[in-house]
Every structure is written in C-alpha cells, then in structure tokens.
Structure 1
Amino acid sequence: MKNNFYYISVISVMRCWTILLMAIVSFSCSDFNPMDSYSRIPPDRNTDIDDGDEGDGAGGLFEKGYGTVNKPYLIMDVMQIQNMSEVLVKGKMIYFQLGADIDMKSVSNWDPLNPDGDLYIHFDGNNHIVKNFTCTDKSYASFFGILAGVCKNVGFYNAHIESAVNSGAGVIGGYIGVKAPNAVEKTGQVENCYVSGSVKGKYAGGIASRMGRPYGGQICYIKNCYSTAEVISTGDECGGIVGSMYENSEVSYCYSTGVLIGANSVGGIAALPSEGAKITACVAWNWKITGPAARSGRISGMLSQGESGHQAAPVASECYAWEDMICSGFTPEDNAGSISTGQYNGVGENTQNLQNSIANWGTPWYNVGNIDMGFPILEWQFDREDYANYGGHDNEPEGDFANGDGTQNNPYVIANATHIQNMSKALIEKQTIYFVLSADIDMQGISWQPLNDANGYHKWINFDGRNHVIKNLTCESGTYRSFFGVLCGECRNVGFVDANVFSPDTGIGIIAGYVGLAAGAENYTGKVTNCYTSGVLKGSGAAGGIGGVLGGSGYIKNCYSSATVIDQITNNTGKAGGIIGRVNGNANGSSIENCYTSGDISAIGGGNVGGIIGKVDNGKLVVKNCIAWNSTLTSTDKTKVGRIVGGTANTTYENCYAHEGIILKAGETTFTVSDETSPSGSSFQGVAKSANELKGTVINWDSSLWKEGSNGYPVFKWSK
C-alpha cells in the first residue's frame, strides 16, 4: 500500500508541474503587451448582450467602453480624445462617444485620425462641443481626415484648419466616403453637427472638402448641419458646406453663413456637384461670396455630369439664399426650379423668410428661427442653454465689416480692430475697393501685414478715415512695411498715432512703403490727403514719416508728422525724410503740398536727410508750402543734410520754411546753413522762421482745417 501511495503521489506531482510549465510557456509565447492597443480590444465584444460590464476603456485610454456599438469608448477629456488613434483597427468600425465638452487648445496641431481611409470610425458627440481644434499643414486637414463612418451630434467651435499645399481642408472631413467599407456598416455620414472657425486649402469646404463614391453603393450624406466657418480655397473649389460632391452623395437641410473666397469655383453650399449628387432644402446665408463669374453661385458654383464612367446629372432644388448677400465677381439670378447643369443660385429671400424656412424643417432643428443672434440652431444646442457662447454666430450677420459692399456708393464700414484685419480678405486684384472708418481703432497686440505687398501690387484701395485715428499700428513683417505696403489708390482723413514700424529693407513708412508705383499708370498712383502720423520708424534705404517712397505722379497734401524717422543702412546711402524718404517719380510729375514735420530725422549710417524729403532721385517734383519744424536732422556728411530736402534734383520749390532753432548734425558735430529760396547745392535749406511765424503760416493754409494744438504745433481741428 505504501508503494502504491508513493507512486500515485509522484504521478500527481509530475502532472501539476507539467500543467504549470505549459501555462508558463503559453503565457511567454503570447507576446502580450499591456500597452499594446490591440491587446486591450476583446475580440468577441461585438454583441448586443448587456452583461453589466461597462468595459475597461482599452486599458484606461478612455473612461470606459469596448469600442462597440452598445459600449462605445467614452471620451471625457483632451487626453482621451488624443487616444482615439491608439485603438483604431484597419477594416473594423470602432465606436466613440463624448461624455463632456473637449477643449483642444493644448493640442498644437492635430493629426487627422484616418489619413488613408482604411480606418472606420463611428463618432457620436452626444450633444457636446469640441472647442479650439487646430489642424494645419496636413493632407486632408480636418478632424477625421477621410471619414469612413459616421459623425453626429457634435459641434466643432472655433476650429482652425489649413491643409498642406496641394490638399483639401474641412473642419470634420478632408474627404467623406472614399475607401469606405463595402459591407453593412454605414459610411461617410454627417448629421446634426455644426462647425465654426476658418478653413483654408487648395480645395475646401466648411464641413468637408470633398465627398462621394463610397464603396458598396451606399449613400454618403451631410444633413441637418450648419457652418459659420470662413472658407478660402487657394486653387480649386470652395464651398460653404462642401467643396466637391461626387457619386452617391447628398447634402440636405443645411445652411452656411461664412465668408467664402475662391479662385476656381465657389458655392454657398457646394462648389462642384457632379455624378448625380443631390442638394436639396438648403440655405446659403453667407455674408459674402467671392469667385469667378462663370463658376460661382449662391448655392452651387457649377453642376456637371462629372468624369467618364461616373457621369450622371446632379440635382439642386428647393434652396434659398439671403437676398442681401454680397456676390463679388458674379451676378446671381434666381433659380426657382430644379437645376442639373451650370450655376445654381436658389431663390433670394429676406432674413425673416430664411429663419422661418429653417425653423419649419422640423426635428432636429429648434422651432424658433432667430434664436441665436438671428440664426437657427439645433434642438440639442437649445437644450444645452449655452448656444449664445458656442453657437458660432458671434460674428454674424455683419460678417467681416459693420456694413457695406466695398463699392464707392456703399463702402465697407470698419468699426473695430477685427474689421480692419479683414480688409486684406476683401481686396480683389485690379479692382478698387472702398473702405471708411466709423470709429477710432486701437491695433494694440496686432502684428500687421501690409495690405498690398506682393504679386505686382495690383490691389487698389480707397480709404477714408472720416476724421478717426488708428492707434498702435505695429508692422515688422512684409516687404514695404507700413499700413498699406504699396498704396495704389487714396488715403485721406485719418491719423496714425503711436505707430511702430521696423524694417531691414528699403521703402518703409507709417502710411505706405510706396505711395504709388514709379510708372504711375492709371490706378497705380498714390494719393495721401489730410493725414497725420506719430510714432517711431526704423528703415534701411528709404524711410519717411508718411511714406518710404513717393512714386509715379502721386501727391501728398495737407499732412503732418511728428514721427521719429531713422534710416539704419550702413553704406552711406540712407534716405530719411519727415514726410518721404525718397522720390522716384516720372515725367508727369508728383507733388508735396501744405505739409510739415516735427520729428527727429536721422541716417545713422550716412546718407541724405531732410525735414520733408530725404532725397529726390527721379521724376519731376513740386514742393509747395512745406515746413521743417524738426528738432534735429542728423547724418554723417553735412552736404547731405537739408532742412527741407537732403538731396535734390529736378524740383520746383515754393514757400518752404524751417524752424530757426532746428539743429543740424554731421555725426556729433553741429553746423549751420544759410537761408535759400531755391537750392544752391545738392540739398535745399528753405528760409528760417520763428515758431509763431510758422504756426500762423500753417493755419493760413486752410483755417477751416488747421488750428493751434495744445503743444503749440498746428493740428487738424478733428485730430485726437
């Protein structure tokens, strides 16, 4: 018995060790990694059975869930939304749901979730908002990249999207529907969503840049959505909701309000529907659309059959547009019926009719059409009660300006710093755009880019300050650093106070780097009247308190500057003037009249310095009724310093004076000059007079414009 017991015991122990050894080997060969996303996705969780298990959220990457239809991954914060990419699996639909609003301002640059289209995502915002989302310099720049799946019940507030050079951009998708699953999963569908912010790409749309052609013959759609995003296309199509629509795509019950700018084809809802795509029951409420005449429309820019092999007639119908929409580059005509080719403008309606139309779309739209700053919202937004803060309509309906359409009879009205920054978007090459100020503008904190500073300088501007001032202009970028860059047009009735302009290059001024171009062709002439400037200006080669260079046959009249002007160039070729640094005119002639300066002017590396003009290089010039009231004029060579002009040629002078106490310096050495009514050498000095004499002279130029200021210098009666 004892031997039998011993034998059985040994056999039992051996079996136990064998089982333990097999378990160890099995575990070691499984290559389990607790940080591996695939290890955290149970393979058999695609079930509708509710067993009470909430799911581990992929090992803690999410609040809970298994990524399945009934147990989606729950996202509660910005770290968890970034974890979405960790659990995506090729060829399998993964489900996500928001459990809170997500502020993405800490994410400097989002990588789209599905750049290649082989990842399938079902995203339910659950009536929450994703705020401050940024995606730049990416292909298919957007939240999803290519949306092969579903996005619903979410708002993207204050998004900033800009694609890589030759790609598309949209807030939600760069493309909706391509490479989608060909089985039972729904694909490329966006519903009950809204977006706000800005979108820019070669082809671009507020929600998506392109959509259509899903595999399996399914329908990809955008419905019950709106966009307030500004959309800019740099090369191809530009749409308020989507850029291009292809086979098996639909947009319905949507509206857009953003400013749209495109060079190829532009539409308030979709730019280029084709291949049987459908647009129905939509509203283009855009404040302004800019696009080419033949390929732009309030609803759609150009409907067509599409590419060979996919050709079918698209349909656009039952759509409306805001009757006061500014259409730049094209003239819309109402389309009451269904359209399958060409431009589609819908039917123009007033604001109240548009509000009522959308409110009557029914669920999921809230039934009061003017609830958020005059615009409709979705029911889930109303239930949140914070739509006034996050509805995206905070810049509507005035759009980029307080009023106007940029024409001579109805100029754009600038009432704040945001409006003045929007000027660049409103400019159109070889077309004069008119602006007026309705208030003083403080530009503190704005790094200004000159308005007309590249590509042939073809942007023509007419700017009337209406006796207001622009404070704290700072410009430290661009070629001809200043407010305008190259002023091809007119600036009048405005003061620039406490400006700060710096440049290592030539052609720098507070108002303009160039006042007109040298050739002086029609529309390229610069005119400045009834303006004044103060602040500090540092340039290299041609710097002036009003402008760096006066070109062509332009003029400056009734202006004054107290700005400190410093030309920093080091090769004895500086050109610094209180009004203009350099004159580069033509045979038709230019002029400076009824102007004075009182700031310190210097060329610290040598060169020409003048109280009014640094140097006259080319063209005919008339200088009449001008006064140098500066404290000091400084260069390294006294022969290049003139109280009126540092270097003169081919110029006619009349009634030009200088303050008798002006200090002239060559380096650290002061020197004196004699009065002259016409140049006796390479510079021009004018006639010295007392402060009282100069004050009376200026006021007598035009007593309805000038008065004595509190500091003893003459000022405009409206100056501040």
Structure 2
Amino acid sequence: MKRYIPVVTLLTAFSLISCGEVMDLTQPEKAEVTHSNITLSLYETGKYDLYLDNPEYQYTIMVAKSHCEKEAKAEFAVVDAKEFGEEYSLLPTAYYDLDGGKMEFKGDDVLHMVNLHFHDLGTLDSSKKYVLGLKLVSDDLAVNQEKNTMTFFLQQEQGGIDNPYILTTVNELVALGDKLKDGKTIYAELQNDIDLQGVDWQPIETSTSRQIIFDGGGHTIRNLKVTTSSTGNQGFFGLLVGKCSNIIFENAQITADTKMAGILAGQVGAAASPGIVENVRVSGTISLNSGTAAWDNGQAGGICARLHGADSKIHQCASATNITAVWCAGGICGEAREGATVSQCSSTGDIVTESCVGGIIGRMLYATVTQCYSSGLAQAYPMRVANPAGGIAGFVEPNPTSVISYCYSDSEVSAQNQVGGIMGLANKPTGITVTHCIAWNQKLYSNGAPKSGRICGRFNMNDGNNCYANPAMECRFSANTPTIVDEETPDYAAQTFGADRYNGLSTMSNPIDAAKALGWNQTIWNLDGERPRLAWELAK
C-alpha cells in the first residue's frame, strides 16, 4: 500500500500594467521576516490505523516552512508510547525506515519530503498493539503545534483472533453476516444481552471458505424469530462452519417449510469443514412443515437440524425447546452424521413429529452420543416411512459405527413403530453399540411394533451391555407385548416373538444407584439428587 501526502504547487502572481501608465520602478521596502513568525508544519496530520495482516505500508510526508528567507534544521522525534495508553507497545525501529527524517531547509526551501516505510509487520506478535508517534521538532524555528504530529496505530485487523468484532447493538448483530470474508475466518464477540424483538432475522450463512468463531461471552439473545420467508436453512445461522460458544438463546421462534431448522443453526459443520458448538443454551419453539419426501431437508433440532462431519461436535449444550415437525427431529439435533459427536448435552422439551424422533438425536448416521440425558416427550406418530422413537436416539445406522454411551432418559416415548427407552431402531445388524445407559422412562408405547424394548427397540443383533431400566416402566408394544425379561446383554438365542430387542436389567431401585453401579464419572455427572444431572449445568 502506498499513501502520498499531496504536494501543493506554489504559484507566483504577476500584476499586469496597462499601456500608457508610468511604471514605478522604486524598489518597495522589504517587510522584515523575524525568527518568531516563521513556522514549520506538516501538510497532513492525524491518526492512522495499520494492520499487521499487511506486511508493509509506505508514506510520503510533506513538511512545509512558512517563509523561504530563513535556513533551519528539523527532525522527527518519536513520542513515548505511554502517552497512548498502557495497552500499546512502541513499534521497534527495526520495523520502519524514516528516509530524510533529519531535514535541512536552505533559505529558499519551503518544502521537504520524508519517506516512511513500514515493513515485515507480519512477523510482529499479533496479540499486541503497537504505536509509532512522530512529532516534528526544531531548535531553529517554531513548529505549528496543531500540525506537528502523525500517529500510527498497528494491530491485527478487526475481525482477527486478537482483535475480534465487538457486538453491542441489534444493528451490529444484524450486520455480522456482512463481515464474512472469502478465504478467512472472522472472530466476533457479543458484549451484552441483545433483544431481537421485532426483527425478522435472516440466518447468517457461513461456508467452508467463509468461517466464523463467535463467542457470546455468556450473554443472552432474546426473541430470535426466523420465519419461512428466510432464504436458507433456518436458525441464527443457516450453516455454521467454525465455532459458536458461550451464548443463550431465550424464547426463540423458528418456523420453516422443507428446510433444516434449529435455534442455533440449520446445519452445523460440513463433510470436510467442522462446526463446533459449546456451552450454548436454547429455549423456545420450532415448527417445521415438510413435503412428502424430506429426509434430506426436513430435519429439526433444538440446537441444529443436522450435525455433519467427523470433527463436528456439540458439547455441554442444553435445549428446552418444544418441537413440532414432520420428518426426523431431536432435542439437540435432528440428525448427526459422518462421525459427528454430541456430548454432555441435555434436552427437556417436548418433541412431536411424524417420523423418527429422539430425545437427543432423531437420526444417527455414523455418530456418537455420550454423557447426555433427555426428559420430556418424544413422540413419532402417525405412520411415515420409518418412525421409530427413542429416549436418546430414534433411528440409528452405523456406516461403519455408531455409539450411545453413559446416557440417561426419563422421557415418555411413543411411536407407530419401534420404541426404546434409549434407542428405537438399529437399521444394520452390526456396528452399533449401546452401553452403560439408564432408561428410567415411565412409559414406552408402540402402536404396532413388538420388536421394541426397555433399552433398545429392534436391535438387529448389535452390541448392548451394562444398561439399567426402570423396574416400574410401563411398556406397551402393540396388542401383543412380548414378555420382558432382564438381560445384561441381549440374549438373541432365547428371543422368539419380538426378537432383536434389548431390555437391560431392572435390578436398581433408582437411577442414582444405577449410575454409581455403572461407574459414571462424577466430575461429569452430579449424582447428589433424585436423578443424574450434568455437573456443568449445576455450576452455572
């Protein structure tokens, strides 16, 4: 970048004498110019913001002498960085060159040029702020005190990791999506609560090339409203690639038609670009209408509709969201796939859909759920292509593996097809593991699938072990509910009518004793109450 201070051309004016006039050739008396009324000054002064993202800048500084009669010397003095505040460090001399900084004005000189070149700025510590103040000084002449200083502030460009965008108003939050940049990850921080009442929110659309790291600072966004008029997937974000953390969404309203819908995002992460959600709490409602074939674009979830990618995760998040949908829906996410992970999350809302439903995840396609719990209603009814229901997950497919571990549910679960206190339906005969889980549901109901179970419904010869069920659980699996027997692992050989299900053990009188017997990590779980709670929630 080059910046040039404009050169002013000095013009000499000549008087025109008309013919016939007598010219007065007497030399006029020359007005005396004294030392005190000759001054030096800068043509341009002020403050300049430079960014460490750019390796170099170049300036040409013009210094003017008000009269040409006097010879003089001048130079630039560096201003003490303390004058600009403790957050600034003085820019080391190795990072700039001041060519012509020591000036000598001859008697007929009125202008002097000084070249200032900043270089190698990208090698500075980007976590620091630097300053260079240059003050014009002279022992020979007076210096105009209003035109004697140029100050250069150097830091990482706003939106970088050490200089994030700071959001304090509704308008700043609304404009956040406009700050996304191709090929860059921007950083933004919320510094106070925001009420979006009356704003028809347009989802922020990140991408693999336009990512964001958004820190809510523990603040709350109230009354988020996203309607079917929005162009992309529905949520605060349409697609979130990057990270969102430390924020609360209170009383959100999301409505959609044949789109992925969640309060935080329609989709979090992509196949090769992860999305991470940590310490996010949401509450409100989601209403999703879909057409007759919406497996790939009709999901709903309290945090997001779809969690996608091996490095994508939702961690330590909570949803108190009531969801009505047509296709798959879950308390945390409608669908998790391609190796995604949900951990230490809770859902306490009611979820009603016509397809598969899970208290945490509606549909798992190669994913992991661990250390989570659900409470409320998980209902999938009436008949769709596949509408199983589970207290943690409804429909599970490995491709190559899927795991549910150390989870708890006391949701009321009901569906047209297979139900389970933890999982509804395993869609493949191998590759799925359900372990160290507690199904303390009061009621499980299936309208027409005897292949349902206290822990897992149709399990397809998969691996279940070390799970406990509520001994008082009411189970109705079609008009011919099979006999339910205790089993530490599924005894497929002994199962006849209603085979391929997993019932677990009913030998514990309460879920706390069950969690202790299973060795649940008490730095993650609080086991002091009547039911297990996540320790991070109680610490808030």
| TM-score of the two chains, using structure 2 as the length reference | 0.53
What do residues 621-643 of structure 1 show as CA deviations (whole Å, max 9, x unaligned)?
12212222123423324852222
What do residues 224-245 of structure 1 show as CA deviations (whole Å, max 9, x unaligned)?
xxxxxxxxxxxxxxxxxxxxxx
For the pair 1:473 / 2:224, whether they are aligned, the reply is yes
Please name the residue that 1:716 is paired with: 537
The residue type paired with residue 671 of structure 1 is Y
Distance 1:428 1:657, change over 3 A: same
The residue type paired with residue 716 of structure 1 is E
CA–CA separation in structure 2 for the residues paired with 1:319 and 1:609:
67
Please name the residue that 2:348 is paired with: 598
Q: CA deviation at 1:486?
A: 1.1
Note if contact 1:432-1:462 (Cα within 8 Å) is conserved in structure 2.
Answer: yes
Please name the residue that 2:105 is paired with: none
Please name the residue that 1:552 is paired with: 309
Distance 1:495 1:349, change over 3 A: closer
Match of 2:323 among 565, 570, 577: 565
Higher helix share: 1
What do residues 554-610 of structure 1 show as CA deviations (whole Å, max 9, x unaligned)?
111121211112224xxxxx111111112342xxx221112221111122xx32211
Please name the residue that 1:633 is paired with: 379
Please name the residue that 2:215 is paired with: 464
Distance 1:442 1:696, change over 3 A: farther
What is the root-mean-square deviation of aligned Cα atoms in Å? 4.9
Q: CA deviation at 1:460?
A: 0.6
CA–CA separation in structure 2 for the residues paired with 1:683 and 1:601:
27
Please name the residue that 1:487 is paired with: 240
The residue type paired with residue 61 of structure 2 is A
SS of the residue corresponding to residue 550 of structure 1 reads strand
CA–CA separation in structure 2 for the residues paired with 1:694 and 1:461:
43
Matches within 5 A, 1:96-107: none
CA–CA separation in structure 2 for the residues paired with 1:445 and 1:436:
23
CA–CA separation in structure 2 for the residues paired with 1:705 and 1:320:
61
What do residues 104-132 of structure 1 show as CA deviations (whole Å, max 9, x unaligned)?
xxxxxxxxxxxxxxxxxxxxxxxxxxxxx
The residue type paired with residue 168 of structure 2 is A
Note if contact 2:2-2:59 (Cα within 8 Å) is conserved in structure 1.
Answer: no
Match of 1:323 among 30, 41, 48: 48
What do residues 357-402 of structure 1 show as CA deviations (whole Å, max 9, x unaligned)?
99969xxxxxxxxxxxxxxxxxxxxxxxxxxxxxxxxxxxxxxxxx
Aligned residues: 346
Distance 1:434 1:677, change over 3 A: same
CA–CA separation in structure 2 for the residues paired with 1:486 and 1:542:
14
Matches within 5 A, 1:610-621: 610-617=358-365, 620-621=366-367
Match of 1:405 among 158, 183, 195: 158
Matches within 5 A, 1:89-238: none
Matches within 5 A, 1:57-456: 318-320=43-45, 322-324=47-49, 332-337=57-62, 405-452=158-205
Matches within 5 A, 1:520-599: 520=272, 524-539=273-288, 540=290, 541-553=298-310, 554-568=312-326, 574-585=327-338, 589-599=339-349
Distance 1:267 1:465, change over 3 A: farther
CA–CA separation in structure 1 for the residues paired with 2:200 and 2:314:
26
Please name the residue that 2:127 is paired with: none
What do residues 520-547 of structure 1 show as CA deviations (whole Å, max 9, x unaligned)?
2xxx211112222111112341111111
SS of the residue corresponding to residue 335 of structure 1 reads strand
CA–CA separation in structure 1 for the residues paired with 2:461 and 2:285:
28
SS of the residue corresponding to residue 485 of structure 1 reads strand
For the pair 1:497 / 2:497, whether they are aligned, the reply is no
Note if contact 2:194-2:222 (Cα within 8 Å) is conserved in structure 1.
Answer: yes
Match of 1:643 among 391, 398, 413: 391
Q: CA deviation at 1:418?
A: 3.1
Note if contact 2:319-2:347 (Cα within 8 Å) is conserved in structure 1.
Answer: yes
Which structure has more relative contact order (CA 8 Å, sep 6+)? It is 2
Note if contact 2:2-2:57 (Cα within 8 Å) is conserved in structure 1.
Answer: no
Using the TM superposition, name which of 326-335 and 606-615 deviates more: 326-335
Note if contact 1:447-1:474 (Cα within 8 Å) is conserved in structure 2.
Answer: yes
SS of the residue corresponding to residue 205 of structure 2 reads coil
Q: CA deviation at 1:703?
A: 4.8
CA–CA separation in structure 1 for the residues paired with 2:144 and 2:468:
73
Note if contact 1:645-1:683 (Cα within 8 Å) is conserved in structure 2.
Answer: no
Distance 1:590 1:413, change over 3 A: same
**Structure 2 unaligned spans of 5+:** 9-41, 64-114, 119-129, 136-142, 148-155, 291-297, 418-442, 447-451, 471-508
Note if contact 2:60-2:116 (Cα within 8 Å) is conserved in structure 1.
Answer: yes
Note if contact 2:376-2:410 (Cα within 8 Å) is conserved in structure 1.
Answer: no
